[in-house]
Amino acid sequence: MFLQVLFRVLPSSDLWQSTLQFGALLLLPALGGVISERSGVVNIAMEGMMLTGAYAGVMTTLATHSVIVGVAGAMIAGGLMALVHAIVSINFKANQIVSGIAINIAALGLTNYLLFIQTGGQGVPSLKDALRLPNLAWGPLANIPFIGRVLFQQNIIFYVAVLILLGIQFLLFRTNIGLRIRAVGEHPQAADTAGVNVRLIRYLCVIGSGLLSGLAGAFLALGIAGIFNSNMTAGFGFIALAAMIFGKYTPWGTAGACIIFGLGQALSVRMQDSGISASLLSTLPYILTIIALVGLVGRTTPPAADGIPYEPGTE
């Protein structure tokens, strides 16, 4: 029964459109993770930054009646959470995993609390279409059978995500600043003695990862769902983290991983009538993530100085 439904669903363009959409949703925080970790700061707070971004995005949009300002608000919120992580990890040299977990927990509590007091327990109203991030359709390209629906009828943020993917690939591997980022993540002392500002680079990368996670939050709340619900990121930030590792800390690898995990999510939604319980199906993306991390991938090496606070000076 399961296989029957699976083979019916797989060739449908709806499934793949969904796959790419969820893939893009995962890609944004995952790319943020890539730049942060490439500079040597472990960042597992995507979940928290995304959730805060989603909340800030919705509230800002409702307050200003402008979805563009809402997106900006979401990114700023993500950036602020990341700034906290940056100060704690870089200035105070605290354990970066602990800091990330703290931000995730704080984000959940903070958004729930604010949601309650700002709406008096009613929850946020569903956003009108005018206040949502629009789905685009690229004219004649959108009419191509199958591909048209999958590639050319996506939300605007999907296309933004693709541009950001290309941008980050270029930034990391073809620019001088990308060279410095990678140097700082592998051997910060060598970079320091060469005259690179290690601290500044790490700050910029961590804040950048916050901006990207915040944008993902905006995509989720303002683009896909059109509403904010408590804990609506549902662990997607962690799947993004897994995608980054699965993708070996490279932009293209991460994109590939995001598509695979996006497929898991899309399947779990579209196989609801296969007789398997919806709850069990909803675990599919997470199980896929675990399999990917544990089984299929050879040992992935993060940048050599990842997670180690930098102490300038003599040995």
Partner 1 sequence: MQESTVVAPTQEREIPLAVEMRDICKAWPGVVANDHVNLAVRKGEIHALVGENGAGKTTLMNILYGLVHPDSGEIFINGQLVHIAGPRDAIRLKIGMVHQHFMLIPPLTVAENIVLGHEPGRVASTYDIKRARAAILELSKQYGLPIDPDVHVEKLSVGLQQRVEILKVLYRAADILIMDEPTGVLTPQETFEFFGVLRGLVNQGKTIIFITHKLREVLELSDNITVLRRGKNAGTLVTSQTNQAEIARMMVGREVLLRVNKTPAHPGPVVLHVENLHAQSDRDLEVLHGVRFVVRAG
* Interface positions with partner 1 (CB under 8 A): 174-180, 182-183, 186-187, 189-196, 304, 312-315
Nearer to partner 1, 8 or 248 (CB): 248
Nearer to partner 1, 148 or 307 (CB): 307
Angle between helix axes 251-270 and 156-174 (nearest 10 degrees) is 160
User: How many angstroms separate the Cα of 243 from the Cα of each of 2, 38, 144, 226?
Assistant: 26, 15, 30, 25
Report the nearest approach of partner 1 to the CB of residue 66 (Å).
Answer: 31
Q: In the block, which residue shows the tokens 């999510």?
A: 265
- Of 123, 113, 155, 191, whose CA–CA distance to 25 is shortest? 155
Report the nearest approach of partner 1 to the CB of residue 94 (Å).
Answer: 23
Q: Give the separation between CA 267 and CA 9, rounded to whole angstroms.
A: 8
Nearer to partner 1, 176 or 279 (CB): 176
Q: Which amino acid is at 20?
A: L
Nearer to partner 1, 188 or 262 (CB): 188
Q: Give the separation between CA 285 and CA 186, rounded to whole angstroms.
A: 32
Report the nearest approach of partner 1 to the CB of residue 91 (Å).
Answer: 18
| Residue 135 bridge partners (DSSP) | 155
Report the nearest approach of partner 1 to the CB of residue 185 (Å).
Answer: 9
Nearer to partner 1, 238 or 310 (CB): 310
